[in-house]
Amino acid sequence: METLINLSNLLCCGCLEIYYKSYVHLNGKRYEIVKLLGEGSYSFVYLAQILEHMSSRRFSITTQVSFFDSVVHSYALKKVVCPAENLTLAYKYLQEIHNYKRFQCGYIVPCLDSQVIQEKNGNKTIWMVFPYYPLGSLQQVVDRHMLEGTFISESEAIRIMIGILKGVLRLHSPMSPIPNINTNGNTHNYIINSSDSQSNNGDITNDTTMDSTLLGDQDLLLFPEIGESTLLLESSLMELDTMLSDTPPTPVDPKTPYAHRDLTPSNILFASDGYPILSDLGSCIPANVSITTNSQLIKWKDWIAESCTLPYTAPEILNIRLNSHITTKSDIWSVGCIFYCILFGISPFEREEQLRGASITYALSTGHYSFPSQNRYSNDLLNVIKACLQIDPTARPSADTLFQQLETLSHTS
Could you tell me whether strands 43-59 and 113-118 are parallel, antiparallel, or unpaired per DSSP bridges? Answer: unpaired
| pLDDT for the residue numbered 104 | 87
Q: What is the CATH number of the domain that holds 256?
A: 1.10.510.10
Tell me which of 113, 196, 262, 331 is the catalytic residue: 262
Same domain? For 314 and 190 the reply is: yes
CA distance 323 to 396: 20
Which CB contacts under 8 angstroms, 24+ apart, belong to 141-147? 141/191, 141/270, 142/265, 142/341, 142/342, 142/345, 143/345, 144/195, 145/345, 146/345
Of 85, 106, 131, the residue at which a domain comes to its end is 131
159 and 127 in a common domain: no
User: Domain for residue 226, yes or no?
Assistant: no
Does residue 172 sit in the same domain as residue 104?
A: no
Task: Report helix, strand and coil shares of the chain as percent, to nearest 5.
Answer: 40, 20, 40
What pLDDT sits at residue 89?
Answer: 87
d(CA 288, CA 303): 16
pLDDT computed for residue 277 by the predictor? 97
User: How many domains, in total, are found in the chain?
Assistant: 2
d(CA 265, CA 312): 9
* Structural domain range at position 373: 138-202+242-410
Residue 232 lies in a domain: no
Domain final position from 131, 160, 183: 131
For residue 11, is it within any domain? Answer: no
User: Does residue 332 fall inside a structural domain?
Assistant: yes
Which letter, b or e, does each residue of 314-345 get, where b requires 16 or more Cβ atoms within 10 Å of its Cβ? Answer: bbbbbebeeeeebbbbbbbbbbbbbbbbbbbb
Per-residue pLDDT at 250? 52
168/67 same-domain check: no
pTM beyond cutoff 0.85: no
Q: What is the DSSP letter of 108?
A: B
Give me the phi and psi of 32, to 5 degrees please. -90, 125
Q: Where are the alpha helices (DSSP H) in 191-227?
A: 194-197, 207-210, 217-220
Report the chain (413 residues): mean pLDDT per 10 consecutive residues: 41 48 92 92 93 59 54 93 88 92 92 94 95 96 96 96 97 82 43 37 36 31 37 48 49 86 97 94 95 94 93 97 96 99 97 91 94 92 98 97 96 82
* pLDDT tens profile 296-343: 999 999 999 989 999 999 999 999 999 999 999 999 999 999 999 999
Strands 276-278 and 29-39 turn out to be unpaired
What is the pLDDT, as a whole number, of residue 63?
52
CA distance 20 to 205: 23
Active site residue 203: no
Write down the pLDDT at residue 259. 98
Look up the CATH number of the domain holding residue 103.
3.30.200.20
Assess whether 72 and 149 both reside in one domain: no
| Of the residues 108, 131, 154, the one at which a domain ends | 131
Query: Quick one: which of 393, 346, 396, 394 has its CA closest to 370?
Result: 346
**Per-residue confidence (pLDDT) for residue 374, from 0 to 100:** 81
Residue 218 lies in a domain: no
Q: From CA 349, how far away is CA 312, in angstroms rounded? A: 8
Looking at the fold, whether 56 and 188 belong to one and the same domain comes out as: no
Q: Are 154 and 268 contained in the same domain?
A: yes
